[in-house]
Chains A and B, each alone.
Chain A
Amino acid sequence: MRKLVLVLVVFCAVIAQAATYSYLVFTNTTGTTTAFSVNNLTLTVNGSNLQVTNDAGTVNLVLTDLAAMQFSTSADSVMAVENVFDADQPVQVFNILGTSVGTFGSLMEAAQNLSAGAYVISNGRQTQKIVVR
């Protein structure tokens, strides 16, 4: 059931995203891409790093490793998530108050077991906000 809801939500989102650039995708000099949601996204040059902050948290990117960045609607963001959260990587989940609600073997597992609501997930290095419906 939850999967169905998720699919419907995403379906609607994809349709509506036709003119919406929800992600900023970075490409490093090796060709690897990293995507960030643009919600409250700020980029700050901090010495040799580019500090990327959005609703999900903060990530530092090494400037000399960066080749380009580009706004993206969705496709690039999926690739980016792979880089931030490996499919089989354990994640810790927090509610919006910052209280841990558990650790799951993967993001998929977390999504299947969480109640509807907004959460922040972390793999220990990076964080990302998700909504379960």
Chain B
Amino acid sequence: MRRVVGLILSGLAISGLLCAQTLNVQVGNVTYQFPAEQAGQMTYTNGTTLTVMGKAFTLSEIDNMYVDETDVTNNVVSIVYGASSATVSIAGNVAQYVTPTISGAHVTINQSNTDAVNADEITYQLSGTTSNGSLTLGGSYKCTIALAGVTLANPNGAAITVTNSKRIQLSAKSGTVNTLTDGASGSQKACIYSKGQLQLQGNGTLNVVGNTKHGIKSASYISVKNLTLNITSTVGDGISCEEYMEIKSGTITLSGIGDDGIQCDLGGTTSTGITTDHEDEDTGNIYISGGTLNVTTTAAASKGLKADGDLYITGGVINATTTGGGAWDSDDMKVKSCAGLNADGNIAISGGTLVLKSTGAGGKGISGDGTFVVSDSANITITTSGQAVVASSSGSLSTVSSSQSLDRYTTNYKSSPKGIKIDGAITINGGKISISTSGAGGEGMESKSTLTINDGEIAIKSYDDGINAASDLTVNGGMVYAWATNNDGLDANGNVYLKGGLVYAVGASSPEVAIDANSEEQKKLYVQGGTIVAIGGLESGASLTQSCYSASSWSKNTWYALTVGSTVFAFKTPSSGGSQLVVSGASTPTLKSGVTAGGTSIFDGVGYYPASATGGSSVSLSSYSAGSGGGPGGGGGGRPGGW
């Protein structure tokens, strides 16, 4: 009998075949979801408490319990925002570790686990829309925040605040568009703030507005992978972090930025140096290996990227534009200006395509306090179009439009729109660099130390010195074109060593020269090798180990062909420059003017190398002696540069 009854009732279960049963325990707007196969024995205690999977419920606080066929994904906490409320669904296997508090659409979650749950971390999945909500997340173990199509605005604070100091993944799910906005005049550090490491990822889109300070801030490192991140407006930095910053892939667009696009600070007081896989690293470094970064800043003295430590670029695309002018820093008693890229430490670029523009007064393409190395496949294009900015003794700013006027200001009271301005040594081992400057003091590339070119291609058209080194300038190889419209093509306050490669330098009219060493302080130009074309002549007193030859005149905007051995370098003369044309090569060169040139285009279309040249007429070359040609050089080996 019992058996038959049991069989009948068992038949009733047919309707639920192959469907998972889930016990839902609803407490306010929070629903805990316990899959039947996981729930095990659920215990009642004294008629007051129900404990399910380690989660204890006070029975009188339970609004409802029901069984349905909801599929539950382990470790997931789903938060759905509504206009004035939010609902939270918690997977049973993590219920005991997640304590939510909901006030309107403001959700606070305290996560208590200190280790993985089911060998995984907890994921908080956000969706829905509210104009008055937020997420605050505390805990002591890493977790993921998955954005699954959420529009979240908090008029009184941050949209997302993570007080958990462990690693947080903030992921925009594929195909979703998510928009986070914080409130104005709040006390929050950012629209998205994380005390812990923040890994931004996912194949979706994240839009961020920072109405009080930064767009995204982490008190630890930030990394970006895959994500399409648009930060459309901030009062402070677009992204601000500490320890280090890493961009691996994705597309980041920073616009409407109130300060720097990306700023990475040293977290502690002393750098750990670079560590294996960045484990526990605190350097203030920025690493970019892929992705596309578009950043536009408008604030005075703002930077597209600013690293407290080093800046390493090995790949990706960076488009950085700064439009702000200079600013007087009353703490440092110094004029400061914009830059596309800036590092307090070293800068190394071995890959990627960089397009850097600065239009404001004193604005630079790249500035750094350490060394600067370019190599491999790096492709850098820099344009600065601002004038120099100067400050009075009281810090009142103004612009000047002539380099001569700049000479009246000491270093801290002026800033010039240079393409690249580096305090340490510059070494070019490869890559391609193209620089254009048009404002007063706008040197193309300047090192306050030594500058060495071993390989690569450099093309510069600058207002001030094309390439300037405060110490020695050495060309061992590569291809170098430097046309300074108002100063020297190549200029060193130390010695200049030309040992190899191809150098095409154009200086302004006397007293400027094409290639200038600091002979006033017993420094010298050493021509020891390479193929050289110098329009405007050489610094007098040069050491010419390799013979040089000069033409008495040259024609503007005309294609010439210099043949050294069997190799031809074709070049187009500029629209202005010093009067003397000096050439040199490993063997006695010949020169033709008015040629029709072809071959491999270099120097932004100003040259071909190796070239083919037809037609034209031979140019008479005479032996060039160091004492007979060239002028004294510009400004004692170049004017001191301002920052």
Contacts and interface: CB of A to CB of B under 8 A. Distances in A.
Nearest to B65: A43
B37 A21 contact: yes
Interface stretch (B39-47, B163-171, B175-183): B39-47
Interface string A15-26: 011011111100
A109 B514 CA distance: 115
Contacts of B2: 78, 81-82, 87
Interface in B10-59: 10-21, 23, 36-37, 39-44, 46-48, 59
Contacts of B13: 13, 17, 20, 22-23, 37, 74
Contacts, number: 143
B18 A42 contact: no
A77 B6 contact: yes
A75 to B, nearest CB: 9
Contact of B6 (A67, A81, A131, A132): A81
Interface in B265-316: none
A69 interface: yes
By DSSP majority rule, is chain A's interface helix, strand, loop, or mixed? mixed
Q: Chain A interface residue count: which class?
A: 35 or more
Contacts of B67: 24, 38, 41-42
A85 B44 contact: no
A36 to B, nearest CB: 9
A74 B356 CA distance: 71
A66 B49 CA distance: 10
A93 interface: no
Interface residues of B, number: 40
A67 B44 contact: yes
Contact of B1 (A37, A63, A106): A106
B119 interface: no
B319 to A, nearest CB: 54
B5 A10 contact: no
A54 to B, nearest CB: 8
A23 B13 CA distance: 8
Given A87-B1, A108-B5, A21 B42 contact: no
Contacts of B59: 45, 50, 63
B64 interface: yes
A63 B62 CA distance: 13
A81 B5 contact: yes
B66 to A, nearest CB: 4
A68 interface: yes
Contacts of A66: 44, 47
Nearest to B46: A64
B60 interface: yes
B9 A42 contact: no
A12 B14 CA distance: 8
B5 A13 contact: no
B7 A7 contact: yes
5 closest pairs, A vs B, by CB?
A78-B6, A22-B13, A64-B47, A21-B36, A63-B47
